[in-house]
Amino acid sequence: MKSPFKSLSSFQKFFITLSILFIVAIIDYQTFLAKSRKVELYDEMSSRITSVRVAITKLEYLIDMFTVARRFEGGTIELIKGDVAAMNENITGLVENPKYSEVWKKDAILAEGMRTMSDDWVTIKAEIKRLNDAMTQDEVMLIHNAVDMNTVLANEKAERLIAALSERRHAVFNESKSLALRTIIGFVLLMLVMSLVYYKKVISPLSKASIVVRRILAGDSGARFQEGSGAMGAFGAELNLMAESIDKRMNLKALECAGMQTTLQEKSIQIVALASIMSFAGRSLSQNEVFGYALGEAAAAASADSGAVYMLEGGLLKLKATAGLDDRFAREAGTLGGFPGGRPGSGSAVLDNIAMLEEPLRGALMAAGAQLAASVPLVYNNEAAGLLLVAYRNPERFNSEQLRFFEAVAASIAVASGHSNLFQREHSTRKFFERLLAQLPVGLAVFASDGRCSLMSAQARRMLGADPGMEPCAYSVFEDELLASQGILTTIRKSYEGYSTEFIINYSPMSSRALGITMAPVRLRIRSFPLYDAGGEISNVALLYEDLTGTAEAPGGRT
């Protein structure tokens, strides 16, 4: 029987998987929250029982003053009454408070201990009340001895209750740690399973598809992609349709290209030249080197005798590079007042009559023996940025198709020049921001969604006591034990939910903690806020560090 899960789309499967993970995460969170509340409840009960022990000891002391020391003044009696009332309130609160009733119901040992301690307290109250009817010192001492005995018993039971509560608290805490470990192991196993599924469903088909692509590129027109029922299989079927269509068209083109072999050879030379120009432009940031190399490649590919590249500077065309021209050309035509033929640089032109050009370009070209020239503007961002000038001594070697090639070369030169200028500007801007970041009076660190640091300023390194040579990615804010021990990670995680937070901590330098050396901590104010990407999603979290060491003590962190 076909599984209904296989009939779902990839998006539906992805959505269901995410929903299951989300539900598991919520259940996990609720479990941790319940155990945390139980730990808090045990702590609160231990605190109240400890208060009862202290009150019993105090009451015992007051009874000693009243009976043994025979201090029958009104103040002593009022103190005894007050302690009895407080004790009665504490024990009644422990027994009758609905918050503790669930503990007494589920734990018979704790309930029995509390019940016997309450019975002892009832006995102590009854004995204290008998002091009103005592007629002789002997009766008073007997009552005192009975109270002493019951207070000792009550104290012992209170100690046992505290010990039992401590054991249960530790048990709950250990359960929380075990649950956390199981959760981590579960998610690791889940990631492994998902990775295997991803490899089987995506990576493996893509690897096979790449082999098919290489076979097709090698000339095996019959190679086809693997098809199947999944998304990658359907994609393979579409690719096969495309490959078959391409194969048919290539067969038709092969028939059409039978008489174009010579033209193709010329174009291949020009394409190789263009690729070489672009490759060289990718390796060099020097505009003059790119211009010179492009001129040499273009002239060789199009059988030109010489060439020159001009760039617009201050409204004038300035000579930047030449090929096949001597120094005389550079001296005479180093600067042009406008584009040849009176064109504004918006289109290419064939200058088949050199004598009609304006000086100084006319004289310089004629001195070089040129009879025909091609003028192609260098256009970048829809604006003329310069000029490519190519000259021929024999006009018969030039044809209109070569003008298209020179336009492609000009476009490559313009793009390389524009990108080089853009890189220089961006490089200057980056250097400016790096200097600004280094000179800020506060430290700055940027963290990815997994808590790994992607950027850390020098001030932040100094405040955190990090090694200057440490890579930012080596530090994770979620793995900082000092922040975790002070409960700060919860505050920082709120920034991943869109909140800005602020807190003040005493931070021991990372380098000293790594070496096990105790050094004076630095008092830091840390501000945490989210960073949004162009889509409005939280991509990173930034932390600003301000050194407050030496300033007046202020209240603790705030959100």
The string of pLDDT tens digits covering residues 376-401 is: 888 877 778 788 888 888 888 887 77
Instruction: Tell me whether the CATH fold assigned to 9-191 matches the one assigned to 264-422.
Output: no
Q: How far is CA 264 from CA 186, 268, 271, in A?
A: 61, 6, 10
Reported for 46-49, long-range contacts at CB under 8 A and 24+ positions apart, including other chains, are: 46/162, 46/165, 46/166, 46/169, 48/90, 48/93, 48/94, 49/94, 49/158, 49/161, 49/162, 49/165
- pLDDT per residue over 21-31, tens digit each? 788 888 877 77
- pLDDT per residue over 46-84, tens digit each? 777 777 777 777 776 666 666 665 555 555 556 666 667
SS3 at position 546 = strand
Q: What token pair was written down for 393?
A: 């001594």
Q: What percent of the chain has pLDDT over 90?
A: 7
Q: Which residue has the tokens 């524009």?
A: 418
pTM beyond 0.75, yes or no: no
What phi and psi, each to the nearest 5 degrees, are found at residue 500?
-100, 130
Domain 440-547 has CATH 2.60.40.10: no
Query: Is the pLDDT at 360 greater than 80, yes or no?
Result: yes
Element (H, E) at 541: strand 538-547
Calculate mean pLDDT across residues 284-303: 78
CATH classification code of 9-191: 1.20.120
Q: Which of 389, 559, 527 is nearest to 460 (CA)?
A: 527
Contact 90, 51 (CB under 8 A): yes
Pick left, alpha or beta for residue 536 (phi over 0 → left; psi -120 to 50 → alpha; otherwise beta).
left
What are the extents of the domains in the chain? 9-191, 224-259, 264-422, 440-547
Instruction: Please state which architecture CATH assigns to domain 264-422.
Output: 2-Layer Sandwich (3.30)
Rounded Cα–Cα distance for residues 223 and 201 (Å): 21
The more confidently predicted of residues 41 and 306 is: 306
Could you tell me where the beta strands, DSSP code E, fall in 398-500? Answer: 443-447, 453-456
For residue 66, the tally of other CB atoms under 10 A from its CB is: 20
Q: What token pair was written down for 209?
A: 């598809």
